[in-house]
Amino acid sequence: MRERAKGTVGELGEFGLIRELTSRLTSTTAVRIGPGDDAAVVAAPDRRVVATTDVLLEGRHFRRDWSTAYDVGRKAAAQNMADIAAMGAYPTALLLGLVVPVDLPANWPTEMMDGIRDEAQVASAAVVGGDVVRGDSVVLSITALGDLRNTDPVTRSGAGAGDVVAVTGWLGWSAAGHAVLTRGFRSPRAFVEAHRRPEPPYHAGPAAAGLGATAMIDVSDGLVADLGHIAEASKVRIDIRSADLDIPAQMSDIGQAVGVDPLQWVLTGGEDHAIVATFPREQKLPARWRVIGEVLAPSALPHVTVDGAPWTRTGGWDHFSDDIDG
Amino acid sequence: MRERAKGTVGELGEFGLIRELTSRLTSTTAVRIGPGDDAAVVAAPDRRVVATTDVLLEGRHFRRDWSTAYDVGRKAAAQNMADIAAMGAYPTALLLGLVVPVDLPANWPTEMMDGIRDEAQVASAAVVGGDVVRGDSVVLSITALGDLRNTDPVTRSGAGAGDVVAVTGWLGWSAAGHAVLTRGFRSPRAFVEAHRRPEPPYHAGPAAAGLGATAMIDVSDGLVADLGHIAEASKVRIDIRSADLDIPAQMSDIGQAVGVDPLQWVLTGGEDHAIVATFPREQKLPARWRVIGEVLAPSALPHVTVDGAPWTRTGGWDHFSDDIDG
């Protein structure tokens, strides 16, 4: 365990904070030049690089009283690397744009960096660079890079009528945990933990590409909304069979306690970063994939239906609407 | 000319704004998958990718009353791509993390995006992805990617005693323009323009790598500060000959008018994104490179000296100190 950084980030200063942050990092063989130069250099053996950026704001995407800095870091890294995995690629590197208030305790960004580093290690990636500036509230912008290892990327647009829809990872757990936390509770712990620290099935993305997935996305806006992105891009309709969705007994108990149909969490909860993909019907899928629906020709119905009918309740987050910090 | 976006970003909504922003983009042959999927895919023919992230805050790195949205976009893209060039690489792609207040006029981010796009085109790069979220003030986090085209990257750490120091691009122009603006003037126009829209010599980075540059950096913190980064990383001392620096007559006039020694701007002004590099003494340099000093063995003197003596005035920005919006 490293010593905790002392004082505020203002007391540490820009260069002091950057030193503290970079001293915590680990590297991988893919990192040719890490932090400290004008730019980083990362191996891209496939001759193509996969890249994605996400921005997280304090008070909007995380709350400092609900999540530790460490968990915020893990979550931020996880959601970016899930996007890389959902293209069928292996995460290789992360870059961090960080805004911090001067009066922020210095151990907040350093512990957040520990979280980013540890989550990167889960996916065999490393933090290779970034920028830190002073501002009014905490903003994290993370860019993840990945390598396709000679597999073609799996986009949102390749689903065809007759394909099956399958999912791996967790669905609705983060939303159930969020519901628990908003009501001031701290348990059941598994759901609260799922909200604080998602565990995307990184390996499943490239594996799905290898299994011939025709379209793929990570579930960040909710299953219905994200399948909607696939259906729209692929010009198809997708029907989800609710009976095939996994609703654990404990999630039902929480639903009953807080007066929410847990199906709502599973269908519209984001942030677990499950991976959902479409596959040719004849493709045999490993046990960790659960077939939850099918791809149909487009019709007058919405892009995504549940048991053949429109899903009328809230469908995914719009980050511009109020009071959602999901 | 595209139609101006109407209303506020809140009225447009997240998806509406993203549609407006992506509809303005252009592409290049390096872009295999552009915006709209989980992640972008960009060619990396060298099998290594160069990557850097910078964060710009409203009120700190730009002011909406001094710079147009278009110029903010160009500047943000320029400073990132200058970092790529300073490694000896060619910029290929940009990713954008954007925070916007709901009451921001929608044409602000769209015009900013026009600026990013146009600056990217100057360097033959393209915007390939990003994220947009709502927040209290404008934050831009830009990640630039680049390709080395089979040249080894030029770091900060390869300068050796006996090398010459040479610079190409503009030095002190942005700082002089900033001085003009802070005093409420709008001219001389060339300096105000240089502050609003730097013109990094992108081509010069890879060219310097080809000429055998031993160390290289783009001047973003000021010449003394950035040469200090080279000297520190290379464990050498660097001496600048002030007589060899270019101080245009008009810059001297501004200095006289505002009571500042223009040498101060040339030595410590950031943001012009000139490229400064060290070369073996015997290397013949093209006319656009100006030899301004030499690399010496380390001594008791500071890392960087001017005419053999310490430079005692302010050296570069510390983004955590007050009242610098550079």
- The reply to whether B38 sits in an annotated binding site is yes
Q: What pLDDT, on a 0 to 100 scale, did the predictor assign at position A54?
A: 96
- The reply to whether B312 sits in an annotated binding site is no
- The reply to whether B52 sits in an annotated binding site is yes
Q: Which residues of A35-48 are buried (b: 16+ CB within 10 A; e: fewer)?
A: bbbbbbbbbbebbb
Q: Chain A partners of B148 at a C-beta cutoff of 8 Å?
A: 41
Q: How far does A133 lie from chain B, in Å, by closest CA? A: 6
Q: Chain B partners of A48 at a C-beta cutoff of 8 Å?
A: 32, 41-44
Q: What pLDDT, on a 0 to 100 scale, did the predictor assign at position A324?
A: 29
Q: What pLDDT, on a 0 to 100 scale, did the predictor assign at position B315?
A: 43
Nearest to B153 among A33, A98, A99 (CB): A33
Subunit contact A41:B60, Cβ cutoff 8 A? no
Asked if the model's pLDDT at residue B118 lies above 50, the reply is yes
**Any bridge partners for residue B255, and if so which?**
none
Kindly report whether the peptide bond that precedes residue A188 is cis, defined as omega within 30 degrees of 0: yes
Q: What pLDDT, on a 0 to 100 scale, did the predictor assign at position A14?
A: 84
Confidence tier at B3 by pLDDT (50, 70, 90): low
CA proximity to B250, closest of B172, B311, B162, B151:
B172
ipTM topping 0.90:
yes
Annotated binding site of A for Mg(2+): 38, 52-54, 83, 131, 218, 221
Asked if the model's pLDDT at residue A86 lies above 90, the reply is yes
Residues A95-111 pLDDT 10s = 999 999 999 999 999 99
Residues A108-145 pLDDT 10s = 999 999 999 999 999 999 999 999 999 999 999 999 99
> Mean pLDDT over residues B2-25, rounded?
87
Subunit contact B95:A60, Cβ cutoff 8 A? no
Lowest pLDDT segment from A120-124, A250-254, A312-316, B213-217:
A312-316
Q: What pLDDT, on a 0 to 100 scale, did the predictor assign at position A191?
A: 94
Ordered by where they begin, the domains of chain B are: 9-147 (3.30.1330.10), 164-310 (3.90.650.10)
Neighbour-count burial of B287, counting CB atoms closer than 10 A to its CB (0-12 exposed, 13-18 middle, 19+ buried) = exposed
Test mutation, B47, B143, B149, B325, chain A, max A CBs within 10 A: B143
Ramachandran bin of B316, using left for φ above 0, alpha for ψ from -120 to 50, beta for the remaining angles: left
What percent of chain B is predicted at pLDDT more than 70?
Answer: 95
What percent of chain A is predicted at pLDDT more than 90?
Answer: 84
Q: What pLDDT, on a 0 to 100 scale, did the predictor assign at position A40?
A: 98
Lowest pLDDT segment from A293-307, B5-19, B253-267, B304-318:
B304-318
Lowest pLDDT segment from A48-52, A168-172, B181-185:
B181-185
Asked if the model's pLDDT at residue B182 lies above 50, the reply is yes
What percent of chain A is predicted at pLDDT more than 70?
Answer: 95
Q: What pLDDT, on a 0 to 100 scale, did the predictor assign at position B273?
A: 95
Nearest to A133 among B10, B57, B136 (CB): B57
In chain A, DSSP assigns E strands to: 31-33, 40-43, 48-57, 90-100, 126-134, 139-147, 164-168, 215-218, 237-240, 275-279, 290-296, 304-306, 309-310
> Mean pLDDT over residues B98-111, rounded?
95
Residue of B nearest to A91 (CA): B39
Nearest to A51 among B54, B84, B128 (CB): B128
Q: Chain B partners of A40 at a C-beta cutoff of 8 Å?
A: 50-52
Please report the sign of the dihedral spanned by the C-alpha atoms of residue B205, residue B207, residue B208, residue B210: positive
Residue of B nearest to A13 (CA): B320
Subunit contact A39:B51, Cβ cutoff 8 A? yes
Q: What pLDDT, on a 0 to 100 scale, did the predictor assign at position A305?
A: 96
